Amino acid sequence: MRRSLPLLFLCAGLAGCANVNQTLDKGTGALGELLLPLAEEVQLGHQLAADVNKQEKVLDDPEVQAYVNQVGQRIAKASKDKRKGIKYTFTVIDQPQVINAFALPGGHIYVYSGLIIASRNEAELAAVLGHEVGHVTSRHAAQSLGTAYGLEALSAVALGEQPGAVAQIAAGIAAQGYMSRHSRDAEREADTKGLQYLMAAGYDPKAMPRFFEELARHSGGSNAIADFFASHPNPGERSKVLSRSIQQKGNPSGATALVGDFERIKARLQGKAAPASSSAGSSSKPASSGGTSAPSPAPAPAPAPSR
C-alpha cells in the first residue's frame, strides 16, 4: 500500500492522473519541482553549500568577496524573490583557471575567480549572476533532481517517508559535481530571467549577449573555457537570441557599473593568479564541481569567459 502513495500524492497534487501521464511524457523534471518541497530544497542547498565551502578553495579576500556579493545582491533584489527560506549568498572560489559559475538550491551562488578576470566590466559579471539567480527563481535544481533521482525518491522526501533522503541526495550530487547539467529549455529560461533582472537592477542589458559573444569568439582558443562549453549550450546562439530579445524591448540602455571599482577588483585577482602567457600556462587540479584542468587565462581586457 505504501508504494502506491507517491502516485496518490501526484494525483491529488495535479488535476487528475491524466495530467500526470501527460507530464510524465515530457519527462520527470517538472514533477521534481512539484514534489520537492521548498523547505527541503533549501535544506539540500545548505548541505551542499557547506560541502562546497569545505571542498573548494574559497577566495581569501574579503574585499573581492564583498564586492561580488554587493553586485549579486543588486540582482537578487531586482528578482523580487521573497520566498520563505531563500537567502542569496554570492561566494568567489579561488580558481583563476576556471571561467564558470553555478547555483545551488536555496540561493547559494558560486563564482570562480576566472570568470571575474574574464569579464570586461561589472555589467558582464552581473549578467552571469543574473543567469544564476534565474536558475534559483525557476527552481531548476528541483527539476534536475526529478530527472536524476526519479519520482519515487522525491515522493519519499515530500511524504516524509525517508528522513535521511535529503542527505543521501546531497551526497550523490556532491559525488558527481555541483554544477547541474540543465536542459536547454532551463538555460533559455535562466537567460530570459537573468536579462530581466539585469535590466531591473539598472545594468546595460547588452552586457549579457556581449559576454556570451565573447565566449563564442574564444571557443577555439584557451582550454580555460572548456568547462563552460561542457556545461552550457552554445554561447553564440544564446547571444543572438538575447540580442533579438533586447531589440524587441526597444534597445533599453543601462549602466556598465553601479557598485563601481570593477577594474581594481579585477586587478587584485590578476595579481593573485599565476602568471600566464596567452593560452599557455601552469595547470591546476580539476575542480570538484566539474571544472577541468586548464591554463590560466591571460590577464588581458579581452575575456575568455564562463557560465
Q: What is the pLDDT of residues 41-70, one digit of tens each?
A: 888 889 889 989 998 999 999 999 999 999
Q: Which residue range(s) make up the domain with 91?
A: 1-307
Residue 307 and residue 226 in contact, taking contact as beta carbons nearer than 8 Å = no
Give per-residue pLDDT as tens, 63-115.
999 999 999 999 999 999 999 999 999 999 999 988 889 999 899 999 999 99
The pTM of the full predicted model, rounded to 2 decimals, is 0.72
pLDDT score at 272: 74
What is the rounded CA–CA span in Å between residue 7 and residue 82?
31
DSSP bridge pairs for 255: 203
All three cell numbers of 249, joined, read 524591448
**Spatial distance between the Cα atoms of 6 and 10, rounded to a whole number of angstroms:** 6
Contact 90, 69 (CB under 8 A): yes
Least confident span in 27-31, 79-83, 190-194, 274-278: 274-278
Q: Which three cell numbers stand for residue 300?
A: 588581458
Instruction: Give the lowest-confidence range in 103-117, 205-219, 237-251.
Output: 205-219
Number of domains within the chain: 1
Q: What is the DSSP letter of 28?
A: S
Helix residue spans in 56-164 (DSSP H): 62-79, 113-118, 122-137, 140-159
